[in-house]
Amino acid sequence: MTEKRETLSRAAMGRAATGRAQAAGAPKRSLAAKLFRRTLPVVMLIVLLIQGSIAWITWTDQRRALERRAGVLTDLTAAAIATPLWYLDRTVFEPQVDALVSDQGFRYARVLDDNDEMLFETGTPPEPGSGAITVARTIIEPQGHIKVGTLEVVFATGELNRIAILQVATAAFAVLLLTGALSITVQFAMRRLVVQPLGRMLRAMRQVEHKSWTTLDEPADDELGQAAAAFNRMVAGLRAGDDARRLLEALQDAQAALVEKNVELETANRQVMESIRYARRIQEGILPDPAVLSPAMTDIALLWEPLDVVGGDYCWMERRDGKCLILLADCTGHGVPGAFMTLVVASELKAILDVASMPAPDLILAELDRRLRARLRQDRPDPGGHDASDDGVDAAVCIYDEAAGTVAFAGAGLSLTVVGPDGVSSITGVRRSLGYRTLPPPGRIPVHLHQVRPGESFHLWTDGVTDHVGGPSRRLFGRRRMA
């Protein structure tokens, strides 16, 4: 019995030692292998995308160049054979068409008369779906405007397709080479720079578990070196028994720094808000007084409530020569950027209206578009920088003629709503905006003339009203509710 118990005890000790050895031994999966599996698909995808993009761009550019060359050759040949074709001199125009065969991309050409009947052909007609480039030019008699025939020229794209296939094959070969190089590099670099230092750190940790205060001697110029330095500090803290004190001091320092940063942020925020509130007073100062339209209009209201302290909505009112003008503009952006745009609009509008007689609504909008493009330097091509401006406005102009009792309206992106005894109607402006670099000028803006009837009211608003979100369901206010 005693010998049997000793045998069982030795077997249990052997199993425990084996378990500890497995726990402390090499991991089942190498870190280098994991990194390789993570990075390989990404690298392969990037290389394939780059090579594919290069092949596509090259193929597209070469095809465009071939199309341009085909157009030039066709134009030159059509011009050269115009007179011989007019006189049906085959001895002249057929050799000139045959000369196209010398071009390496030429495939087929034919000459049709003014009734589209075949006069002459050379080369081999392309197969359907071959992707060949076909250029057709009408041949005009040189001394008049009479059509004497048509020249059709076909250029083959086989060489372009061959180059594209070669580039795709090159991409596949590059992926294979890169995969092999990446595998070797990752394995070597990971083992030397990561796996071996981590192994030394793990062995040191096992020694610390047994109260053997071992430190690491790793270069401190990378993350592993910093981790080794942190490990050494931890060992020193454990030996000195001051780890709790260090953590407490670090926490107190962090709390003090947080309080200080909060105070700085509050101060900065207060200063910024004071500046913006002062800017609001300036922006309110450039808004018109509705009383300037009295006594022509006795019931007029202006509501200006920006989403932020300042905003990008602007309004102007003016009365002279028996006419009342109201302009509403919705500038790009909200807050401070939008407010700056309103100042630009106000400045340019003042210059537009500084004339002897009041301009028509459409002319005001067209001139505002031109001046905004010039003032913001958006009347020239984009220089390609990321900071190039592309700003503009949606605007509407109403001019009330007191003598005629009519309202002339023109809008670019904004509409006029009329409420009268017969219900609600809307006069829609053009679906264009003003001043933007990336948009063309609005062109002709129609002017809508409306005869004012008793009891009618007119309303202009920006999208800040209809896009307002509220209510329990958090829905947009919308144009229908506004009407």
Contact 198, 214 (CB under 8 A): no
Predicted TM-score (pTM) of this structure: 0.47
Cβ–Cβ < 8 Å for 368, 352: yes
Output DSSP code: residue 315. Answer: E
**Can you tell me the distance from the alpha carbon of 120 to that of 147, in angstroms, rounded to the nearest whole number?**
17
pLDDT of residue 9: 47
Residue 295, preceding bond cis, omega within 30 degrees? yes
How much is the average pLDDT of 350-377?
Answer: 92
Burial category of 77 from C-beta neighbours within 10 Å (exposed 0-12, middle 13-18, buried 19 and up): buried
pLDDT band for position 21 (50/70/90)?
Answer: very low
Is the per-residue pLDDT at 63 higher than 60? yes
> Do 136 and 166 form a contact (C-beta atoms < 8 A)?
no
Per-residue confidence at 13, pLDDT binned at 50, 70, 90? very low
The CA radius of gyration of the chain, in Å to the nearest whole number, is: 40
Q: Helix or strand or coil: residue 448?
A: strand
**pLDDT band, residue 451 (cuts 50/70/90):** very high
The C-alpha atoms of residue 445 and residue 370 are separated, in whole angstroms, by: 14
Helix (H) or strand (E) holding 198: helix 196-209
- Contact in structure between 211 and 223 (CB atoms under 8 Å): no
Weakest-pLDDT range from 157-166, 258-267, 277-286, 317-326: 157-166
Has residue 87 got a pLDDT over 50?
yes
Question: 250-262, pLDDT tens digit by residue?
Answer: 888 999 999 999 9
Ranges of each domain in the chain: 26-210, 242-285, 289-379+390-482
Q: Is the pLDDT of residue 16 over 50?
A: no
203-252 pLDDT tens trace: 877 777 777 777 777 665 667 677 777 777 777 777 776 556 677 888 88
Which residue is it, tokens 């085909």? Answer: 70
CA-CA distance, 165 to 58, in Å (whole number)? 12
Domain 26-210 sits in CATH 3.30.450: yes
Fold entry, domain 289-379+390-482: Phosphatase 2c; domain 1 (3.60.40)
